Amino acid sequence: MNISPDPYAESVDPSVQCTTCEAVCCRLTVVLMPEDHVPAWLVARDEYGMETLAKGEDGWCAAVNPNTSGCTIYEDRPAICRKYAMGSPSCRDERHKWFGNVIRESMKGTFNSQVDTSFRMGMMWFIISEIFFFAAFFGGLFYIRTFVVPWLGGIGDKGVITNAYIWQGFSATWPTNGPQAVGGSFIAGSPWGIPLLNTLLLLSSSITVTIAHHALRIGNRKRLIGFLGLTILLGLTFLCCQAYEYWESYVHLNMTLHSGIYGATFYILTGFHGLHVTLGTIMLIVMWLRCLRGHFNRENHFAFEAVSWYWHFVDVIWLCLFLFVYIL
């Protein structure tokens, strides 16, 4: 809802917008005060007999216009709603507490099937967006190796003139740092050392997180916690191995981010993947801590499921990296 700053808001932060927030303050229970004057059809009573703003079946305040997400009684809204003016301290506090509220609501089973579907669709589209993110970099790598390097080396109709008049003597080989040998000579690391080890680590982690998920579905919490912890350990080991590989490449092989097109594509692709592994490991740690506290059950555990989806996605991306960056 795009509303102007409210006089009840002591200090409004203009950077906070409802359109970029998932705290859904308009799903909170609003207790009406004697000085509040709202239409009678919006008044309901809670289990204690207190007057509250009515809610729809989806849990949203009945005064919210579903088409515009705007408040239909904005000028006459209750005093508590005025405290939650967009960007106010109360608004920002609720924004910070949102994740905790989601967890508590999930554990109480207050989410209906529509909310569960929205969570699943949101995670699905997020992973699809990540697929396109990496597809852009893989597409760039394909274009460079299939067209640019051969042209510079004199292969094909476009490459003959380019090589003869501009880059004479350049050979179309891969890996390369270009006809000007940007960054100096370097050695590409072998795929059968640390990269192969990292591949085995991530493949093993896919198996362990699947076992953990199965254990959760059958109610075996000891196995769940053990195999989820093993998945985290495998992820951390992967990150350590990748850090060592970077150090080895920089110090002993002179392959840096500035080693021409190969160095740039190598570190961008593996670096972004390493960032995703880091985020995935953090999410796994959060799930592990929640499991230790007794969260999730056989039927209600989408947060765990979403993280496992993400982890499998990260593993698949690494297999593509291992094939197209390290081997081919």
Q: What are the tens digits of pLDDT across the range 113-126? A: 777 788 889 999 99
Q: Degrees (nearest 5) of the Cα angle 173, 175, 181?
A: 85
Instruction: Give the whole-angstrom CA distance, residue 307 versus residue 296.
Output: 13
Instruction: Give the whole-angstrom CA distance, residue 304 versus residue 296.
Output: 8
End-to-end CA distance of the chain: 51
CA distances 47 to 26, 34, 44, 176, 276, Å, are: 20, 19, 10, 72, 46
For 114-327, give the CATH class: mainly alpha
Full 3-state SS string of 167-193: CCCCCCCCCCCCCCCCCCCCCCCCCCC
Burial class of residue 113 (count of CB atoms within 10 Å of its CB; 0-12, 13-18, 19+): exposed
> Domain map of the chain by residue range?
18-96, 114-327
Q: What is the pLDDT of residue 11?
A: 65
228: number of Cβ within 10 Å: 26
Q: What is the pLDDT of residue 33?
A: 86
Write the DSSP assignment of 264-284 as a string of letters.
HHHHHHHHHHHHHHHHHHHHH
pLDDT at residue 89 tops 60: yes
In tens, the pLDDT along 155-213 reads 887 778 887 778 788 888 888 888 888 888 888 889 999 999 999 999 999 999 999 99
pLDDT band at 5 (very low <50, low <70, confident <90, very high): very low
CA atoms within 13 A on the CB side of 168: 2
Close Cβ partners of 228 (under 8 Å, ≥ 6 residues apart):
208, 209, 212, 284, 287, 288, 291
Q: Which residue intervals of 13-97 are DSSP H helices?
A: 79-83, 89-96
In tens, the pLDDT along 241-295 reads 999 999 999 999 999 999 888 999 999 999 999 999 999 999 999 999 999 988 8
Q: What is the mean pLDDT of residues 58-79?
A: 77
In tens, the pLDDT along 213-245 reads 999 999 999 999 999 999 999 999 999 999 999
CA atoms within 13 A on the CB side of 169: 2
